[in-house]
Amino acid sequence: MKSQKSTRHDALILGGGLAGLTLALQLKQSNPDLSILVLEKRTEAAPAASHKVGESTVELGSHYLREVLGLKQYLEEKQLPKFGFRFFLSPEHSGDIARRVEVGSKLSNPIPAHQIDRGLLENELVRQLNDAGVAVLLGASVQEVELSKTGHTVRYEIAGETCTATGNWLIDSTGRRSFLKRKLGLEKATDHAINAAWFRLGSPIDIDDWSDNLQWKHCLAPGRRHLATNHLMGKGYWVWIIPLVSGNTSIGIVADPALHPFDTFNTAEKAMQWLEKHEPLAAKMLGRHWSGLIDFKVMKHFAHDINQFYSTDRWGITGDAGAFLDPFYSPGTDFIALSNSWLTELIVRDSRGENIALRTMIYRELLNGWILLYKNMYSLFGQTQIMLFKIIWDWSTYWAIPSLIFANKGYTNIDFLKQYATTANSIGHRFATLNAQMQALFLAWSRHGTTPCSDQHINVFALAYLHQFHLELAEKFTPEQLIRKVASNLEILEQVAAELFRQVSTTLHGTPPDMSVDPYTMVITDTRDVLIEKAQRPGALEVVESIRTDIETVWLSPVHHKHEAYVE
């Protein structure tokens, strides 16, 4: 093969998918003088309606695309708006969607998000990068990488020629090929063994059409359910239904193999048979569009992790090349936003001659703990009351802390991070401990089971504290204001955790409904006597009536339930 002259760049990015392209754009916007080369294996533009997981964005990732990268106008004009998450619990009513407990928002979410057609977005990013002077080479197949403190060298083949490029920084965004992770032996074991199958149907599918119950249909304005990321929940699984701007609909089955063996849904025919058994109404309604099946893909044991994302030796790993835990709650774009923002800080500051060692160490620690949202949780997905509490808690934490910090550039402000995360009693450590306690509560509670519930629509923004968390994502805070706001939000989360614990403990152990609770030390596996004794210790929190009112809104057991069907 003919060899071309080597080129030199400030940053070499291996992989031109969403992670690599957004990183290149963020780098160029942060420092227009940087020379950036993106090497992408695919030989031509991504097809419209590209079949990739990651269509749904949530607040953190949406803020990244809209505000950090400046894609707001493009997303509003060329992609679909997203009407939040919507969960259909009560799997015992999988044949009648109007009977299921439905969880979501009733009004437009204050912070916008989008349903993304990845092919269209990636082509737009390539166009913008070309306009900005960033070289994106399609059809470039990476053959070899040599890491060196004086400049990393990549050998790649393109159009029958062998080429080399040298970069001060080398970034791996090759997806599950994980070029650098494999080369450097950075694989980290994870025992979150969940499988997925997903496919697209070539027509729009509106869940509003799945029932003739007018009370249920009129509970939301027309189109609200259609534009949501819809989840059908059952023991050990969830099914997603996501609309795309192309008019296609993305459908996915994600399941724990301990409860749903992979070979029961790993082909298109088996997937439909699996739906007929577990989600019969979905099977019936999707079956009407089955002749429009476009494609079908599977992924076994999709969760993977990594021991190190960044190095002072000027290499980094982003996107699916590094770690991916679970598509539940649509965190993929969030992880890209965080990782790319940290890489941009490292690369830009290094280009100015700054010492990046401290930043590298702090950034490594900030992604720890996300696995707790998913690990061993799939067995809970069929227990309606527990999942309702878990969804409310997970949303509360997401909006109160990480989304707020990211929207205010806190994750790249070293002074803020020193206050937030570097001491044993810091906000970040307390937050991580509190979340771990709550996830353990849900798991322990699940061993007792809960009473089946039905015929309810839960409007999450009816919870005053939760609505306030979401509204505050649109506010701007100085670093000093941000640390105070995050501390204040953590105090609210502590009260929420205490009230959730209080409600569960009263149900399981008969403890007093006004018992004080220390959410950091009290565990539901304690006996009644031990819990009452711990309630007398310093630090235990008393009932806050406004929080109690909010939590009782999402308590569905017959003992506490005070609402008629579909009443907020």
Lowest-confidence segment of 256-260, 341-345, 365-369, 456-460 by average pLDDT = 365-369
Residue 495, pLDDT above cutoff 50: yes
Helix (H) or strand (E) segment spanning residue 241: strand 237-243
In the structure, what pLDDT confidence band is assigned to residue 511 with cuts at 50, 70 and 90?
Answer: very high
User: Do 317 and 43 meet the contact criterion of CB atoms below 8 Å apart?
Assistant: no
Question: What's at 428, amino acid-wise?
Answer: G
Nearest one of 556, 466, 544 to 504, comparing CA atoms? 556
> What are the structure tokens assigned to 425, written together?
């009693």
pLDDT tens digits along 146-191: 999 899 999 999 999 999 999 999 999 999 888 999 999 999 988 8
- What is the mean pLDDT of the segment spanning 260-274? 98
Residue 48, pLDDT above cutoff 70: no
Quickly count: other Cβ atoms within 10 Å of residue 512's Cβ: 13
DSSP of 342-391: HHHHHHHHHHTT---HHHHHHHHHTTTTGGGGTTT-GGGTT-HHHHHHHH
Per-residue pLDDT at 568? 39
The CA distance from 166 to 35, in Å, is 11
More confident residue, 139 or 3: 139
- What is the mean pLDDT of the segment spanning 196-222? 94
> What are the structure tokens assigned to 98, written together?
């109007």
User: Do 324 and 303 meet the contact criterion of CB atoms below 8 Å apart?
Assistant: yes
pLDDT tens digits along 296-353: 999 999 999 999 999 999 999 999 999 888 999 999 999 999 999 999 999 999 999 9
Residue 566, pLDDT above cutoff 50: no
Helix (H) or strand (E) segment spanning residue 458: strand 457-459
Across the strands, what pairs with 310?
316
Residue 561, pLDDT above cutoff 70: no
Alpha-helical runs (H) found in 31-99: 59-63, 72-78
Question: What's at 140, amino acid-wise?
Answer: A
* Residue % of the chain over a pLDDT of 70: 95
- What is the mean pLDDT of the segment spanning 442-453? 91
Per-residue pLDDT at 133? 95
Helix (H) or strand (E) segment spanning residue 83: none
The CA distance from 111 to 466, in Å, is 13
Alpha-helical runs (H) found in 112-198: 118-131, 179-184
3-state secondary structure of 443: helix
The CA distance from 102 to 388, in Å, is 9
User: Do 358 and 349 meet the contact criterion of CB atoms below 8 Å apart?
Assistant: no
pTM: predicted TM-score of the whole model, two decimal places: 0.94
Residue 198, pLDDT above cutoff 50: yes
- What is the mean pLDDT of the segment spanning 490-504? 97
Per-residue pLDDT at 372? 87
- What is the mean pLDDT of the segment spanning 534-542? 96
Residue 560, pLDDT above cutoff 70: no
Per-residue pLDDT at 563? 38
Mean pLDDT of the chain: 92
Per-residue pLDDT at 367? 66
User: Do 175 and 320 meet the contact criterion of CB atoms below 8 Å apart?
Assistant: yes
Residue 229, pLDDT above cutoff 90: yes
- What is the mean pLDDT of the segment spanning 469-495? 97
Nearest one of 494, 268, 299, 496 to 389, comparing CA atoms? 496
The CA distance from 13 to 182, in Å, is 16
In the structure, what pLDDT confidence band is assigned to residue 4 with cuts at 50, 70 and 90?
Answer: low
Lowest-confidence segment of 25-34, 248-257, 272-281, 453-462 by average pLDDT = 453-462
Give Dmax (Cα) for the chain: 80
More confident residue, 568 or 8: 8
In the structure, what pLDDT confidence band is assigned to residue 565 with cuts at 50, 70 and 90?
Answer: very low
Rounded (to 5) percent helix, strand, coil in the chain: 45, 20, 40
- What is the mean pLDDT of the segment spanning 4-16? 91
User: Do 342 and 411 meet the contact criterion of CB atoms below 8 Å apart?
Assistant: yes
Nearest one of 497, 506, 494, 499 to 557, comparing CA atoms? 506
